[in-house]
Chains A and B, each alone.
Chain A
Amino acid sequence: MHGDFHGLRVKERREEIKGAVTVVFEVPAHLAEVFAWRPGQHLTLRFTLKGEEVRRSYSISTSPFSGDPLQITVKRVEGGLLSNHINDRVRVGNAIDVMPPFGTFRLDPGERLRRTHYFFGAGSGITPLVSMLQSMLIAEPYSVAHLVYGNRSADTILFKARLEDLRARYPERLTVSHVLSRPSMWSSFSFWRRGLVDKAAVEAAIAENPPYAQDTQYYICGPGKMNQTVRDALMGLDVPASRLHMESYGGAIDVDDTIAGVAAEARIRLDGRTQTVTIPQGQTILQATRAAGLSPPFSCQSGVCGACRAKLVDGSVHMRARLALEDEEIADGAILTCQSIATTSALSVAFE
């Protein structure tokens, strides 16, 4: 069950590039099923730092179809509590509390499916994308993929060799287009474009590699700003929202703090029981639910991971951020409880 943490031992630790480390976990046989993952999903890690519990989610960077072990790749974030801790402190043999794989930003390959997958990523946004990419190359043989990947310079590109290897192995099914914002003058690395993964890059990428298989899917994973730019660019080309899949990490996330909300009484259904919880004005449903002594699932607390997702059965809420949900899911009543404040005084919420 997700929500439960398991202590997993670090089997291997390696530096991918300067300031980004890959942590490989050992999954004991009896947990193999619990930790089976789908391409694009992430793990939530729990640490206690200076007496405080800290949770963060990191995308799994291996493919469940390649036979590679469970691993995450963590890039240092300036001032980032956990990313620096993992880069500095984690050693082979450590046990880390890990929640089973989770997340709706996924690519589930199908043997007979025939799709064109476009991936737009920047920086460590590549971690879920490379897992998805490799998975569909292995397990969705009729499909093709185009990756547009933005970085500062050649030596900050994560998985450079692995991507090269995939391109060599699947020359007819994969294109990789590197976008560099500050390429080094001395580097001989050949890249596609200079600049950012922006509107012009998106349009050029699609014009150069128009979809062959007509079931097209678009996956976006980068800092919040890039996500928004790419999403707007694609929507500007009439890509239907149902074909867009997006996940954000780090950096700026669009947060809408303009609505203050109201105090409310909420009927909360969790683990088959229903309890009434009082939500003071300005508190999120998640905060109030935890304050009432319940233990709902959660992880990032910033609207990114989707772990705290629940269904709004009655009443209405304002979501400050909603990156982890797609429009269709919201239309079906899904909410992120860590981002939801009540806008009606009576709510009914069910954790699934």
Chain B
Amino acid sequence: MPPQRRMHILPVDAYVSQDWFDLEQERIFSRVWRYAGFAEDVSEPGQYVSVQAGLNNIFVVMGRDRRLRAFHNICRHRGTQLLRAVGKTQKAITCPYHDWTYDLEGRLISVPEEDSEFKGLDKSCLGLKPASIDLWRGMIFVHPEAEAGSIMDWFGEVEPHLGPHKVEELVEYPDSATAHEIKANWKIVVENYIDHYHLAHLHAGTLSMYDHARAEFGFVGPHFAFWEPLAPHYLENVEEKAPQPLILPMDQLGASVPMLFPGLGLGENESSWSTFHIVPLAPDLTRVEIRNRVKNAPARDFERQQSRSHRFWSKHITGKYGAGDAGSDADPMASGDFLAEDIYVCEQQQKSLQSPYFEIGASAERGESPVRQHQQIVLDYVEGRR
């Protein structure tokens, strides 16, 4: 008999089986506040986006009072999805199938051939089903329930442990959004994000500007908070060394790298603020969408900062393996890019899960404690304790 196949708390099954994937979709991703983009994505009356939040497809639209509304993207006639990904509408939303039409309050306002085909139809009972919505830290969040309560019931406790950034004042760095499909379960990606132990090893050449030994981290409710100071060699003259203009005052420098449940990582540091949105696609496939915000400053400030910091970065960023050790130029381990390093190890770990000989050897007491705790939280949700 092979030893029991467990990753610390969760069974290996949780990382490979469709059943587990479906359970998580239902019991985690369909029940909590979900990230739905930046506030700027829906910033004009009539603009909308739709997002998949677990089993729910929810669209967000701005009314003329500039308040966002969220509705389940389901026509009340026979259920057709009303809106596609993004766009702009005037005052009404018309279903493509039979042209039932709703206003931006979700009220059903017209039904073709109503008099002859739907005698006595009470349109007031057939409004779109509302969902909850709010903005927080410059991001849109939706919740499938109409009366989800305050978003601060969800984020209030962790908020004081996040970076001191005034996110709304930062602007998105043009053309810097990226998306990555990773051949690994979403929890592998989360666990990598919150694993303190790997920072000094996998990223020895790419993240040495932070002082990992002095990191402070832990869970606050289901959310993970993490902070670490700048390493001394980077801190010295950081105004010159930062790759972009600084966005934090000198007495508050550092990197906060929280992971908000379920699967919204933030990277909040001295010169940029980014989202790392983890979207499960299949048991062994996950998409990560990254967007970045920086100081609201003219382009020439960025050019200048880049050129004055170039020398520092060219000296301090290296691949984990030198070109000679690595298989080829395209080898992520020689890339000098910490994201490529992370993706590489996530996929390598996922591959081994199929093997009957797979077995966790040991777990670092402090550095890997977040990994175990995250698994416990997932388990609690799936087994109905949360």
Interface residues of A (CB under 8 A from B): 110, 112-114, 142, 206-207, 210-216, 234, 237-240
Contacts and interface: CB of A to CB of B under 8 A. Distances in A.
A239 B134 contact: no
B18 interface: no
A112 to B, nearest CB: 5
B151 A114 contact: yes
Interface string B124-149: 00000000011100000000000001
Contact of B67 (A110, A114, A207, A214): A214
B372 to A, nearest CB: 30
Given A142-B156, A238-B104, A240-B105, A114 B65 contact: no
Given A214-B133, A238-B63, 9 more contacts: A113-B150, A114-B150, A114-B152, A206-B65, A210-B66, A214-B67, A216-B67, A238-B64, A238-B65
Interface residues of B, number: 19
B141 to A, nearest CB: 9
A212 B138 CA distance: 9
B153 interface: yes
A152 to B, nearest CB: 29
Nearest to A118: B65
A214 B150 contact: no
Question: Which DSSP category, helix, strand, loop or mixed, fits chain B's interface?
Answer: loop
Given A213-B134, A215-B134, A238-B105, A142 B65 contact: no
A287 to B, nearest CB: 38
Given A114-B150, A214-B134, A239 B65 contact: yes
Nearest to B132: A214
Question: Which DSSP category, helix, strand, loop or mixed, fits chain A's interface?
Answer: loop
22 contacts: A112-B150, A112-B153, A113-B152, A114-B150, A114-B152, A207-B66, A211-B66, A211-B67, A213-B135, A214-B67, A214-B68, A214-B133, A215-B150, A216-B65, A216-B67, A234-B65, A237-B64, A238-B65, A238-B103, A238-B104, A239-B65, A240-B105
B286 to A, nearest CB: 29
Instruction: Identify which of B68, B149, B152, B156 gathers the most chain A CB atoms within 10 Å of its CB.
Output: B152
Interface in B47-76: 63-68
B95 to A, nearest CB: 20
Nearest to B103: A238
A268 B151 CA distance: 46
B167 to A, nearest CB: 11
Nearest to B135: A212
Nearest to A239: B65
Nearest to A113: B150
Given A213-B134, A214-B135, A142 B68 contact: no
Given A207-B66, A214-B134, A238-B65, A112 B104 contact: no
Instruction: Identify which of A110, A234, A238, A239 gathers the most chain B CB atoms within 10 Å of its CB.
Output: A238
A46 B310 CA distance: 78
A112 B68 CA distance: 20
A37 B68 CA distance: 33
B158 to A, nearest CB: 14
A210 B63 CA distance: 11
Nearest to B104: A238
Instruction: Identify which of B68, B133, B135 gathers the most chain A CB atoms within 10 Å of its CB.
Output: B135
Contacts of A113: 150, 152
A238 B134 CA distance: 18
Nearest to B151: A114
A257 B175 CA distance: 64
B62 to A, nearest CB: 9
Contacts of B149: 112
Interface string B151-171: 111001000000000001000
B63 A237 contact: yes
What 5 A-B pairs come out closest when comparing CB atoms? A210-B66, A237-B65, A237-B64, A112-B150, A239-B65
A239 B63 CA distance: 9
A179 B178 CA distance: 46
A336 to B, nearest CB: 27
A142 B135 CA distance: 12
B107 to A, nearest CB: 10
Interface string B208-240: 000000000000000000000000000000000
B66 A206 contact: yes
Contacts of A239: 65, 67
Contacts of A112: 149-150, 152-153, 156
A161 B13 CA distance: 65
Nearest to B60: A214
Interface in B101-125: 103-105
Contacts of A215: 134, 150
B68 to A, nearest CB: 5
A305 to B, nearest CB: 29
Contacts of A237: 63-65
Contacts of A240: 105
A113 B156 CA distance: 10
Contacts of B66: 206-207, 210-211
